[in-house]
Structure 1
Amino acid sequence: MNVPLVEKPPVRRPGKPFLLGLATIATALPCAISAASFGGYRINLTPSEPLGLWRIVKLDRPAAVGDLVFICPPQTSAMRQARMRGYLRAGLCPGGIAPLIKTVIAVAGQRVEVGASVNVDGRPVTYSGLAQRDGQSRPMTPFSGGIVPVDYVFLHSRFAGSYDSRYFGPIPAAGILGLAQEVLTYAP
């Protein structure tokens, strides 16, 4: 006697579409970030400026006060220590550091005074108070102040916890990648 075979319906696993979607996102996101990086775009994940997608716009003139720039920090002991402390993220700049997004607040020849806050040519810079300690209670050493040298810029971010020239001093303008232009950002 032949017994007809009865096929059972396939067993559906309740999380399969979710896992497939998650795997797709996990694969696509690094590819998109990589493509954006090489296409003149950067993803900002730090609170120093709004979070999101930014574009690097070629700067065909010397940097000026008020310019919001992408800049690769120099490979100095201060920057290496900042990277070890977690102030700087990994990225494509020399030394494996991500470009900074900061506002130029002083250029060559301008006097910067650093005390409880920052003054440029005797004028106070808003939102420039200094932290004595970082988020893990480690001491922060401020820049001592002085005249910004030729071909250097002094950088600032309005974000109170920003690691900027208040601590590391002026840095070479040669590291400027271009102006920072918001594309799709969110300021929490």
Structure 2
Amino acid sequence: MTAREGARRAFDLKKRSVAVMLPATLLGAIILVLTGLYGPYRINLTPSEPLGLWRIVPLGRPAAVGDLIFICPPGTADMLGARARGYLRSGSCPGGVAPLIKTVVAVAGQHVEIGARVRVEGREVPSSGLAQQDGRGRSLTPFPGGIVPPGHVFLHSAFLGSYDSRYFGPLPAVGILGLAQEVLTHAP
């Protein structure tokens, strides 16, 4: 075999590999997207929690403080405004937004204070500093605080730029899809 024939054979092999790998990769991507839309799996591309594949685990009880959950925010004017500002991604929840992954830090009946940081029943929530402006310099209005109403949860993410209950207040617990469980993730 000459060098030219060897090079040609190597080129043909690479070409066949690409011809097989490209459709397989495309099929895998389609399956992941469909699973994310219709199944118990979601792909997180936000910095609020590790990036990657997550599973929604059914929650057979009321949400408790410390639960990491998937929740659909309500399709309210405030949430639609947050979507317009780019704080919420497109998805299958009311108003066309994606489910959020957040930690429950207060439940119905608990008192939440908002100052320089968030306090629940007088205890400071770690990593709960508030931003005065978003990443584009637009002002952010914090939730004024108060008692979490019946049927609601107060949510938080330790990520400084997270859009959570510090700004939008408690969300209806009826929007909870389940616990958020990491499957294949990477925390940058």
User: Gaps (5+ residues) in structure 2?
Assistant: 1-7
Aligned equivalents of 2:84 and 2:20: distance in 1?
A: 36
Aligned equivalents of 1:76 and 1:36: distance in 2?
A: 24
Confirm or deny that 1:178 pairs with 2:166.
no
Match of 1:61 in 2: 61
TM-score (norm 1): 0.87
Confirm or deny that 1:106 pairs with 2:96.
no
1:181 Cα deviation from its structure 2 partner: 0.6
SS in 1 for 2:25: helix
Greater C-alpha radius of gyration: 1
Equivalent residues in 2 for 1:134-153, closer than 5 Å = 134-153=134-153
Over residues 74-118 of structure 1, what are the superposed CA-to-partner deviations in whole Å (9 max), with x where a residue is unaligned?
Answer: 111111111111111111111111100000000001000111110
Match of 1:45 in 2: 45
1:127 Cα deviation from its structure 2 partner: 0.1
Confirm or deny that 1:28 pairs with 2:36.
no
Whether the 8 Å contact between 2:76 and 2:95 is mirrored in structure 1 is no
SS in 2 for 1:31: helix
Over residues 27-81 of structure 1, what are the superposed CA-to-partner deviations in whole Å (9 max), with x where a residue is unaligned?
Answer: 5313322124322011111010011111111101111000000000011111111
CA RMSD of superposed structures (Å): 2.1
Task: Provide the identity percentage.
Answer: 66
1:25 Cα deviation from its structure 2 partner: 3.0
Match of 2:161 in 1: 161
Aligned equivalents of 2:52 and 2:143: distance in 1?
A: 30
Q: Report the residue type matching 1:181 in the other structure.
A: Q
SS in 1 for 2:131: coil
1:18 Cα deviation from its structure 2 partner: 4.9
Stretch moving more, 37-46 or 130-139:
37-46
1:24 Cα deviation from its structure 2 partner: 4.8
Aligned equivalents of 2:101 and 2:170: distance in 1?
A: 14
Equivalent residues in 2 for 1:69-148, closer than 5 Å = 69-148=69-148
Aligned equivalents of 2:99 and 2:148: distance in 1?
A: 21
Aligned residues: 179
Q: Report the residue type matching 1:40 in the other structure.
A: P
Aligned equivalents of 1:59 and 1:33: distance in 2?
A: 23
Q: Which runs of 4+ in 1 moved over 6 A?
A: none
User: Gaps (5+ residues) in structure 1?
Assistant: 1-8
